[in-house]
Structure 1
Amino acid sequence: MSSFESTRKVFSSLESFDATAWDGPFTSEDRERAVDGLESGRVLYFKNLPFSLEAQEKIFLSTTWSDQEAKNISFDPTEGRLRGARIEGADGDKLVGMMSRYASGARQFLHSLLPPYASTLRLARTSFRPHEVEGRPVQSYRKDDTRLHVDAFPSRPNRGARILRVFTNIHPAGKARVWQIGEPFEAYASRFLPTVSRPLPGLAQIESILGITKGVRTPYDHIMLHLHDRTKGDANYQREAPRQEVAFAAGSTWVVFTDQVLHAAISGQFVLEQTFELPVAAQCRAERSPLRVLERLTGRALAA
């Protein structure tokens, strides 16, 4: 029997909603279903929720503005800095304006949809993904997002906080963004956790002092980063693991905990994305978080 046989059964990865406006309105049933869906490891899908570009912003629907090295153009609101772009002056201001407008809309959207999270959601980076995913060369397997993976930040330890992301497909010609979504987190973690050794004593402190990481990496961060790398580097897993393929239509928006949901971007171009961080304590069912699952599997505290 295949080692994947137990998770080969059909699983539902999407929770669909009919909203057409970023501020809803959302019913109490919508909100409960959204929170439960996210915390259960599903993707919230809003097929008819576009982000409309202003006339002056449509010039950015091109790969011309990318520095051709980074896969994304990103904006960090805490630094006020644009990365991955080859742009300056008035055009740079317009691009930042577009991304900031998306960030504001995404935050308003989540505050309305997910009231239990609203007071503790922290706005992180905004990204614009102008490149076609399919066929794009990558420097290493670790950076190949066409392989199934969960998100973990090598240089930015999050100490157990959740990674909540909002995506919107803004492709002008109607091309879908195609993802593959993998098996439930606990089954996946149980498979790879035995291959992850404990971190070397003192290494996390040294990396922080040297500026390799922005803060001290916890045992949780160490495990998540190794799970990310082990998964992407395992050719058999990438070939044989159970998955569901989903096409996110142009003009649609989806929301997902990318630290919990195994995902791979297979094809598509022109997507906006907003990252938020959420404390585990803000969850309605904290025991479903990767931190609590990994603590239960390892039998020890991981975010101290």
Structure 2
Amino acid sequence: MDAHDVLEELPIDRWTGPFSPEVRAQALAALEAGRVVSLPHLPFALAPEEARFLDPGTLDNSRKNISLDPATGRCHGSDYTGADLAALTAMLDRFGRQAEGLLRELFPAYAPALDRARTSFRPAEIQGREYSPRHDDRRLHVDAFPTRPMRGRRILRVFCNVAPDGVKREWQVGEPFPDFAASFLPRLRRPLPGQFWAMDLLGLTKGRRSAYDHAMLGLHDAGKLDAAYQAGAPRASLSFAPGTTWMCFTDSVLHAALAGRCALEQTFHLPVQAMANPEKSPLRVLERLSGSTLV
């Protein structure tokens, strides 16, 4: 594999449209085909007083990212307080709003159903940090939430490298999701009777899991914990220079973040029904492979 197999570059240089029908069609086809859509000429502009946040010290010692919940306006993961925390929160919120505006203009069919979720900022360098295998995002994986059931909804993420010193964000992207799922799905354990109900009742999940969530979490863990797969799986290497914005459906694009710092990330949720081609979704792929309805 090489970058041409997984990457689609678009000449977009502004966060607001309108965008041509040709660019919209190209972006939609690439995104739903499981490619990474890269916008190498679309930087996120920081105010001069926000440059101080591009430092690992912005992060507290308990987390690998700073997170903003747009539903509550609360920001977690930094030791800042008072006016400093308010300024950091405003920066993350501005990125989230710009990312949302970009998607609504670029994918107008998604707009009525697009749900903006958490905004994250990762100021620290990836290399040199130690994680357990299950939490190590340097390993190829698909995204799945252990406590927030998606019940088939897509996970669409917009990233931007805002590193001030020219450091690139280094990624790897793996094989197509149907190939990965066909290999790992037969290995997964079936859920115990009443397991989803009990987890919801005990407050272990924010809502009741579905068979889809169980499968996606199983695929996430099985892929990360398989040392032979991590060593030998097909992959392409991608580099995102500062000033680059990129996006993909991270629930179906196998990806690993190997190096870099100062990355912003905005998560969106999207119902499968809002896609132009729902058959490309992980839900439909897993239902075909398992022969059963998963939500």
Please report the TM-score for the alignment, with normalisation by the length of structure 1: 0.95
How far the C-alpha of 1:12 sits from its partner, in A, is: 1.0
How far the C-alpha of 1:9 sits from its partner, in A, is: 8.8
* Coordinate RMSD, CA, aligned: 1.1
CA distance in 1, matches of 2:98, 2:117: 14
Specify the alignment match of 1:260 in structure 2.
Answer: 252
Specify the alignment match of 2:150 in structure 1.
Answer: 158
**Shift in alpha-carbon separation, 1:59–1:237, aligned structure 2, 3 A:** same
Question: Could you tell me whether the CA contact under 8 Å between 2:158 and 2:248 is conserved in 1?
Answer: yes
- Any idea what SS the aligned residue of 1:168 has? strand
Residue type matched to 1:291 in 2? L
**In the alignment, which of 181, 188, 199 is matched to residue 196 of structure 1?**
188
**Shift in alpha-carbon separation, 1:186–1:55, aligned structure 2, 3 A:** same
Residue correspondence of structure 1 range 1-304 to structure 2 within 5 A: 12-138=5-131, 140-303=132-295
Please report the TM-score for the alignment, with normalisation by the length of structure 2: 0.98
CA distance in 1, matches of 2:154, 2:16: 23
**Shift in alpha-carbon separation, 1:10–1:67, aligned structure 2, 3 A:** closer
CA distance in 2, matches of 1:17, 1:248: 14
Q: Which moved more, 1:232-241 or 1:23-32?
A: 23-32
- Runs of 5+ in structure 1 lacking a partner? 1-7
CA distance in 1, matches of 2:67, 2:268: 14
How far the C-alpha of 1:24 sits from its partner, in A, is: 3.6
- Runs of 5+ in structure 2 lacking a partner? none
Q: Which runs of at least 4 in structure 1 moved beyond 3 Å after TM superposition?
A: 8-11
**Shift in alpha-carbon separation, 1:130–1:10, aligned structure 2, 3 A:** closer
CA distance in 2, matches of 1:97, 1:141: 33
CA distance in 2, matches of 1:146, 1:196: 22
- Any idea what SS the aligned residue of 1:214 has? coil
Number of aligned residue pairs: give it: 295
CA distance in 2, matches of 1:104, 1:285: 26
Q: Which moved more, 1:280-289 or 1:203-212?
A: 203-212
CA distance in 2, matches of 1:294, 1:9: 26
